[in-house]
């Protein structure tokens, strides 16, 4: 089993270079966000790129115990598993309907950004019962405040490019044909910005996991500290259907 | 199944506060490292705390494809699994012998930092065939350069407290009785600094996972991009013993 | 990375022997339970061993959706993950407080079966606030019916040996000093029987996983078929404590 | 979070029925394979169904340490993780290229079994660069012996129905147009038989996991017993490409 890699070069004398940079110098001089950008993109970020990534990761960090990933993490921890095993359970709580949406969103934007007629695209999708990923929210109707603050930041920092513009025009057009009001949601905003920053859509769900893992650590740690015993459904929560 | 939580308050109107701070304001104003510190410690870090955490996370970010976590992640990805499932496999490659050591190290420092006679402690441990976690390295004999740069930074930033001093004195004494030269390794240095910063040892392996997950994302992404088919052991790597 | 193995010999001509037996002949002639026993113990079971293992695996097969493993599996599936990833999440719902208890139970029986004074052992454990694994049940006070039927079967088949007898005497003595009535539970019964069959305690939780995985497959499949969307806690199930 | 279930009814008095049958009676009277069939299909199997399932599960049980699932399981175990966590890592070593193929195979057979012109179907697939799942093997060219013995058994037991016949005719036609000799492999044979037994294709990968988990338990246990330290790639196995 042979591996070729361009990420990290661990020399036999024990020293280590990440994407060509001495690890000790990175520790000395660089922030975590800079190093994350470096390892994903192969170069250190410019200031504005770092600021944008800080905003994106921060927006993802946690969403309370009700999400599937927080639940699988905390339930696993309640059975008295080590932190890292509970975190693995948490990551397996992501899925096409949670977190992973970022990837679909980026894919949709990259595929369709050059469409000349957004209205036609959306109508044709509707006919095929396909929905545009990145739009809609359980509570918000007009605007998702997390999406708004991210897009404002993107504008300030110069990342409001063709994909963000496309997302905005999808937002306008989709609300002409949708029976329900659909805001551009936070997945849609992050997806559009990551496209305008040049990230490969296959990194979308990886970026989501990086941003959310500190939240999962906090959830699992809280479960450990509370130590309130193994989680089980209440009897009333189960209906047996013969 | 009822949950009590002090981490994130997602209001029914859709707005969200993390440890009492509006998420939109965190996105607007704070770095990722600040928000990680906030969610783990319940308050935003001071400048020097942020700098120290940046150095710690950066020191952990990746260690090449040879580690157990990178291997389980890449092998899972090679079977054509989604990114997040391969990352879960990667996290299950951590264990008492990889990554998780940080927790044992912190525990050892907290338990023994007030020992009056370090030499006696180590001799008694040796008799019980217990080894001090955080010391020793495959290649380095005198100094682990990552540990050195972290400790230097801790000194500059004011986190070289009683636990770091204790780690240094363990280093001195352990080399008087060990047959092999044992440097203070990177786990030992991070562990001592996290103790001097006041982190609970139960957060040790969580901090390790936060720091390493970007490296695992990069490893899985590289495996996806290379797309060189399913990984298997070579026939020569297996010896059948009837 | 070299592996030595005594389990399965896959020849370069493509044929395969499991524990020395041609796989094609096993397919032709043997039951699944026989082959499981073969791969774990290195030899095919005698008839009575096979019957005992059938009873043990059957007793483990499922315990409804309320258990932590069924919950993590179903919640992961509800986020639209592939079956095998949801099963991995399910397995991470096992833990020291669910399923894994079998190992602790076997360990306890092996360690203490030769104790001359069971009463003294239990009193001394009680003083150290250690509890005997394999005893106690949420609902049953006198007898756990699954444990009873397994022990009856063990008697019929000749596996009611010194560990089962020891378990019975622990049951008698523990109820003299416990404030709550503690039956020998199903983990205790299976653990004692597996000891009398000669299984290594380190296989305990593996045997549990083998027995329960069909139940997890059924749970995940049911979640897929119901397809009722992503699982989330209800708002009322979360209490935010500032 | 409310669950409806038709699988297992755990009564508040502690007794338990699986698919309507008392668990204690199943323990008393039924084999593991019968109970697996019951929990997946909702009814106990007829004799011939049980025999067929025994052959299928046995054929899957292990394939040595070289497979991705055995590797991720053993590597995780080598980092000193609990058995169940290493098994979860093993399951995450399954994927579209390993184990999960069964599902694709069943789907292909169900979708196309009524095709009037198999030759045309395969040519059209070839033009679209789609390949028929369930055909081809690294070593075998004419026949995969595991597939042969399973199909022979299916014939004897009366499960060689329209899907097995379809698989055979695909085998004939595909070898007229393929540049490489492609046998019907073991995934193809199991898939066809499971279709003829009436299993939902969404259970395909679950059945694979049930059959393989005892092999993974044996692999992890062997790794624990050998206790040869943490697995790492050799330096020579990594090529750094700047």
Would you list the DSSP string of chain D?
Answer: --EEESSEEE-TTS-EEETTEEHHHHHHH--HHHHHHHHHHSSPPPHHHHHHHHHHHHHHS---TTSHHHHHHHHHHHTT--HHHHHHHHHTT-BTTBBTHHHHHHHHHHHHTT-S-HHHHHHHHHHTT---TTB--SS-SS--HHHHHHHHHHHHHT---HHHHHHHHHHHHHHHH-SS---B-HHHHHHHHHHHTT--GGGHHHHHHHHHHHHHHHHHHHHHHH--------GGGEEE--
Asked whether the predicted pLDDT for residue B67 surpasses 90, the reply is yes
Burial track D18-38 (b if 16+ CB lie within 10 A, e otherwise): bbebebbebbeebbbbbbbbb
D214 touches chain C (CB under 8 A): yes
Q: Which residues contact A227 (CB under 8 A, 6 or more apart)?
A: none
Strands D3-5 and D238-240, sheet pairing: unpaired
- Give chain C's mean pLDDT: 95
* Mean pLDDT (whole number) for C112-141: 93
The C-alpha atoms of residue A192 and residue D53 are separated, in whole angstroms, by: 50
pLDDT band at C235 (very low <50, low <70, confident <90, very high): confident
The torsion angles phi and psi of A146, rounded to 5 degrees, stand at -65, -40
> In degrees, to the nearest 5, what angle opens at C-alpha C200 toward C-alphas C199 and C204?
85
**Under an 8 A CB cutoff, do B92 and D76 touch?**
yes
pTM, two decimals, is 0.97
- Give D51→chain C minimum CA distance, Å: 7
Residue A169, classified by CB atoms within 10 Å of its CB into exposed (0-12), middle (13-18) or buried (19+), is middle
**Under an 8 A CB cutoff, do D89 and B85 touch?**
no
The tens digit of pLDDT for each residue in D204-218 reads: 999 999 999 999 999
Compute the CA torsion angle B15, B21, B23, B27 (nearest 10 deg).
160
Q: What is the largest CA-CA distance in chain A?
A: 66
CA D104 to each of CA B76, B230, C205, D59: distance values in angstroms, whole numbers, following the listed order? 19, 17, 31, 18
Residues of chain B above pLDDT 90, percent? 89
**Under an 8 A CB cutoff, do A75 and C93 touch?**
yes
The torsion angles phi and psi of B99, rounded to 5 degrees, stand at 90, -50
Based on its alpha-carbon atoms, the radius of gyration of chain A, rounded to whole angstroms, reads 21
The tens digit of pLDDT for each residue in D89-109 reads: 999 999 988 888 899 999 999
User: In this complex, which of D57, D85, D222 lies closest to C7 when CB atoms are compared?
Assistant: D222
pLDDT at C1: 87
* Mean pLDDT (whole number) for C204-208: 96
* Mean pLDDT (whole number) for B200-220: 97
pLDDT at C2: 93
B235 touches chain A (CB under 8 A): no
User: In this complex, which of C5, C88, C237 lies closest to B1 when CB atoms are compared?
Assistant: C237
pLDDT at A130: 92
Listed as ranges, residues in chain A with pLDDT below 70 are none
pLDDT at A216: 98
C242 touches chain A (CB under 8 A): no
pLDDT at D13: 87
The tens digit of pLDDT for each residue in C23-63 reads: 999 999 999 999 999 999 999 999 999 999 999 999 999 99
ipTM of the complex: 0.97
The C-alpha atoms of residue B164 and residue B186 are separated, in whole angstroms, by: 12
**Under an 8 A CB cutoff, do A238 and C80 touch?**
no
A22 touches chain D (CB under 8 A): no
**Under an 8 A CB cutoff, do A83 and B206 touch?**
yes
pLDDT at C104: 92
pLDDT at B98: 85
User: In this complex, which of B6, B88, B237 lies closest to C241 when CB atoms are compared?
Assistant: B6
The tens digit of pLDDT for each residue in B73-94 reads: 999 999 999 999 999 999 999 9
**Under an 8 A CB cutoff, do D66 and B232 touch?**
yes
User: In this complex, which of A65, A139, A214 lies closest to B36 when CB atoms are compared?
Assistant: A214
Chains with 3+ CB–CB pairs under 8 A to D are: A, B, C
> Which of D70, D86, D93 would you mutate first to test chain B, the one with the most B CBs within 10 A?
D93
pLDDT band at D202 (very low <50, low <70, confident <90, very high): very high
- DSSP E strands: which ranges in B192-236? none
pLDDT band at B14 (very low <50, low <70, confident <90, very high): confident
Asked whether the predicted pLDDT for residue D138 surpasses 90, the reply is no
Asked whether the predicted pLDDT for residue C98 surpasses 90, the reply is no
pLDDT at C44: 98
Shortest CA distance to D45 belongs to which of D191, D197, D201?
D197
**Residue for token pair 């990680």:** B36
Residues of B in contact with A232 (CB under 8 A): 1
User: In this complex, which of C4, C14, C209 lies closest to D87 when CB atoms are compared?
Assistant: C209
Shortest CA distance to A193 belongs to which of A217, A162, A219?
A162
**Under an 8 A CB cutoff, do A241 and D82 touch?**
no
Residues of D in contact with B97 (CB under 8 A): 78-80, 229-230
> Which of B3, B75, B240 would you mutate first to test chain D, the one with the most D CBs within 10 A?
B75
The tens digit of pLDDT for each residue in D72-87 reads: 999 999 999 999 999 9
Comparing alpha-carbon positions, the chain D residue that sits nearest to A238 is D3
The C-alpha atoms of residue A192 and residue A187 are separated, in whole angstroms, by: 8
**Under an 8 A CB cutoff, do C54 and D31 touch?**
yes
- Give chain D's mean pLDDT: 95
The C-alpha atoms of residue C93 and residue C91 are separated, in whole angstroms, by: 5
**Under an 8 A CB cutoff, do A89 and C94 touch?**
no
pLDDT band at B111 (very low <50, low <70, confident <90, very high): very high
DSSP code per residue over C156-184: HHT---HHHHHHHHHHHHHHHH-SS---B
User: In this complex, which of B140, B146, B214 lies closest to A40 when CB atoms are compared?
Assistant: B214
**Under an 8 A CB cutoff, do C66 and A233 touch?**
yes
Q: How many CA atoms lie within 13 A of D189 on its CB side?
A: 26
The C-alpha atoms of residue B200 and residue A220 are separated, in whole angstroms, by: 13
Please list the alpha-helical segments (H only) found in B4-100: 23-29, 32-41, 47-60, 68-78, 83-91
The tens digit of pLDDT for each residue in B141-177 reads: 889 999 999 999 999 999 999 999 999 999 999 999 9
The C-alpha atoms of residue A187 and residue A167 are separated, in whole angstroms, by: 11
Q: Which residues contact B54 (CB under 8 A, 6 or more apart)?
A: A30, A31, A32, B33
> Which of A2, A15, A71 would you mutate first to test chain D, the one with the most D CBs within 10 A?
A2
Start-end of CATH 1.10.230.10 domains in chain A: 101-197
CATH of domain B101-197: 1.10.230.10
Asked whether the predicted pLDDT for residue B97 surpasses 90, the reply is no
Q: Which residues contact B117 (CB under 8 A, 6 or more apart)?
A: none
pLDDT band at D156 (very low <50, low <70, confident <90, very high): very high
């Amino acid at each position: 089993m042979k591996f070729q890699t361009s990420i990290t070069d661990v020399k036999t004398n024990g020293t280590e270079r990440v994407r060509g940079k001495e690890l000790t110098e990175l520790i000395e001089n660089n922030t975590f966000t800079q190093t994350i950008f470096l390892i994903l993109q192969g170069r250190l970020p410019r200031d504005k790129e770092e600021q944008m990534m800080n905003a994106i990761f921060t927006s993802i960090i946690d969403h309370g115990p009700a999400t599937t990933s927080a639940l699988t993490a905390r339930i696993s921890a309640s059975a008295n598993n080590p932190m890292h095993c509970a975190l693995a359970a948490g990551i397996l709580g992501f899925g096409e309907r949670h977190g992973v949406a970022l990837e679909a969103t980026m894919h949709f934007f990259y595929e369709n950004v050059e469409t000349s007629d957004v209205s036609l695209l959306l109508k044709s999708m509707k006919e095929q019962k396909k929905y545009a990923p990145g739009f809609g929210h359980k509570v918000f109707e007009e605007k998702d405040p997390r999406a708004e603050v991210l897009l404002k930041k993107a504008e300030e920092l110069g990342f409001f490019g063709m994909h963000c513009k496309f997302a905005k025009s999808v937002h306008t057009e989709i609300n002409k044909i949708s029976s329900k009001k659909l805001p551009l949601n936070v997945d849609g905003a992050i997806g559009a910005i990551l496209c305008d920053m040049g990230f490969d859509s296959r990194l979308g769900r990886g970026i989501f996991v990086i941003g959310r893992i500190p939240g999962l650590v906090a959830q699992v740690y809280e479960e450990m500290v509370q130590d309130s015993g193994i989680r089980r459904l209440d009897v009333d929560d189960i209906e047996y259907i013969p």
